[in-house]
């Protein structure tokens, strides 16, 4: 089936026949969100560190405009609150990728407290053929993390890399209660299967009640899903982009969202979660179902006289 037929099928599944304009509006967003595919290649980011452009996802592993290391520090480690923990820290790392988030966290946590016990569970489907090593002062920490893969322990640092689709491997993380979740798949519109209500519910089950979930995204469907799952949702400081990342907690208050962001979360037709009831859905179908739901909500909203521009892909 081609894309048009898949979209028509989604409408039919809801007992509807789409008009031409509605169909075109849905198709336009889907084509834009999916983006180009190509070959992997190495890129230099704004802070001088390297990253990889994923050919399959048409997106870099880290923000090129913010800098890969700065993104690890400001979108993940700092808002996670891990630097204030004592004794032992447990991290659930969704999307190990190049291992930068883990290595940067390891370096700074160890520097602050050399006796800290650090335990990491990473979920990853496919490691890239070549991983650029982080620059100083992170080089040694990064090499150490990579040398312990897939599982290993040295001097109070333990890592366990679970290879495969995170939607399934997350269920084997029993008994591990994360103090922080580094949620770092590719962007929601490119990698929707790791941003659904159902997957985030699984992630929540793997969190300690005092845990903090952090991500670079400010995406409405993601924040909506977190709220629906009972998280308190806030924002991390903006970095090289107009909007903030997301911090979500189960208890304790995250840094507040702006008034504008709260209004968008309440009113925008795009504020509806991605769905994947059996955690096996094809990513394209997740996007189609989402976009058709948005269209139906848009119609309700526009009949009340409001309009919302479609979101960008991250």
Ligand X SMILES: C[S@@+](CC[C@H](N)C(=O)[O-])C[C@H]1O[C@@H](n2cnc3c(N)ncnc32)[C@H](O)[C@@H]1O
Give the footprint of ligand X on this chain (CB under 6 A): 61, 95-101, 123-126, 165-166, 184-186, 191, 193-194
Question: In angstroms, what is the minimal distance from the CB of 15 to ligand X?
Answer: 31
* Least CB distance to ligand X at residue 25 (A): 27
Q: Give min distance, CB of 41 to ligand X, in A.
A: 15
Buried b (16+ CB within 10 A) or exposed e, 29-68: bbeebbeeeeeeeeeebebebbbbbbeebbbbbbbbebbb
CB of 61 to ligand X, least distance (A): 4
Whose Cβ is closer to ligand X: residue 168's or residue 258's? 168
Give 192: exposed, middle or buried? Use CB within 10 Å, 0-12, 13-18, 19+.
buried
Asked if the peptide bond before residue 197 counts as cis, ω within 30 degrees of 0, the response is no
- Residues 6 or more apart in contact with residue 259 via CB below 8 angstroms: none
The answer to whether 235 and 245 are in contact (CB under 8 A) is yes
Q: Please give the residue whose beta carbon sits closest to ligand X in the complex.
A: 97
For residue 212, which of 232, 186, 184, 192 has the smallest C-alpha distance? 232
Q: How far apart are the first and last CA of the chain?
A: 27
Residue 259 CB, shortest distance to ligand X, in Å, is 30
Using the minimum distance from each CB to ligand X, give the nearer residue, 191 or 210.
191
Four-residue CA torsion sign, 21, 275, 215, 53: negative
Answer for the pair 176, 211: CB distance below 8 angstroms, yes or no: no
Q: In angstroms, rounded to a whole number, what is the distance separating the alpha carbons of residues 98 and 151?
A: 16
Dihedrals phi, psi of 243, to nearest 5 degrees? -110, 160
> In whole angstroms, how close is the CB of 51 to ligand X at the nearest point?
8
Q: How many C-beta neighbours within 10 Å does residue 299 have?
A: 11
Q: How far is CA 158 from CA 90, 175, 212, 268, in A?
A: 10, 15, 20, 42
Judged by beta carbon, residue 138 or residue 270, the one nearer ligand X is 138
Q: How far is CA 196 from the centre of its chain?
A: 10
Choose between 184 and 298: whose C-beta lies nearer to ligand X.
184
Report the residue number, 162 or 295, with the smaller CB distance to ligand X.
Answer: 162
Of residues 95 and 269, the one with the C-beta less far from ligand X: 95
Cβ closest to ligand X, residue 96 vs residue 213: 96
Least distance in Å: CB of 258 to ligand X?
Answer: 25
The structure tokens listed for 198 are 């159902």
Identity of the residue, 103 or 116, whose beta carbon is nearer to ligand X in the bound complex: 103
Q: Are 228 and 198 in contact (CB under 8 A)?
A: no
CA distance 206 to 291: 29
Minimum distance from residue 303 beta carbon to ligand X (Å): 37
């Amino acid at each position: 089936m081609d894309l048009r037929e898949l979209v028509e099928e989604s409408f039919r599944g809801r007992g509807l026949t789409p008009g031409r304009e509605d169909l075109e509006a849905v198709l336009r967003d889907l084509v834009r969100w999916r983006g180009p595919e190509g070959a992997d290649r190495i890129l230099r980011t704004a802070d001088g560190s390297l990253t990889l452009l994923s050919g399959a996802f048409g997106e870099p592993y880290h923000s090129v405009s913010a800098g890969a290391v700065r993104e690890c520090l400001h979108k993940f480690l700092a808002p996670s609150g891990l630097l204030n923990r004592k004794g032992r820290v447990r991290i659930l790392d969704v999307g190990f990728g190049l291992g930068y988030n883990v290595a940067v966290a390891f370096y700074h946590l160890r520097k602050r407290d050399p006796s800290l016990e650090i335990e990491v569970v990473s979920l990853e489907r496919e490691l890239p053929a070549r991983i650029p090593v982080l620059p100083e002062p992170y080089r040694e920490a990064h090499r150490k993390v990579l040398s312990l893969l897939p599982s290993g322990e040295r001097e109070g640092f333990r890592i366990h890399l679970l290879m495969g689709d995170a939607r399934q491997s997350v269920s084997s993380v029993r008994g591990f209660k994360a103090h922080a979740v580094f949620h770092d798949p590719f962007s929601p519109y490119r990698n929707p299967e790791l941003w659904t209500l159902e997957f985030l519910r699984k992630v929540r089950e793997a969190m300690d009640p005092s845990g903090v979930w952090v991500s670079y995204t400010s995406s409405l469907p993601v924040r909506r899903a977190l709220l629906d799952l009972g998280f308190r949702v806030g924002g991390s400081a903006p970095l090289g982009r107009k909007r903030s990342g997301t911090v979500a907690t189960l208890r304790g208050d995250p840094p507040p969202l702006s008034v504008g962001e709260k209004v968008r979360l309440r009113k925008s037709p795009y504020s509806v979660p991605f769905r994947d009831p059996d955690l096996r859905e094809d990513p394209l179908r997740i996007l189609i179902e989402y976009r058709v739901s948005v269209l139906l909500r848009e119609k309700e909203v526009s009949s009340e006289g409001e309009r919302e521009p479609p979101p960008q892909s991250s």
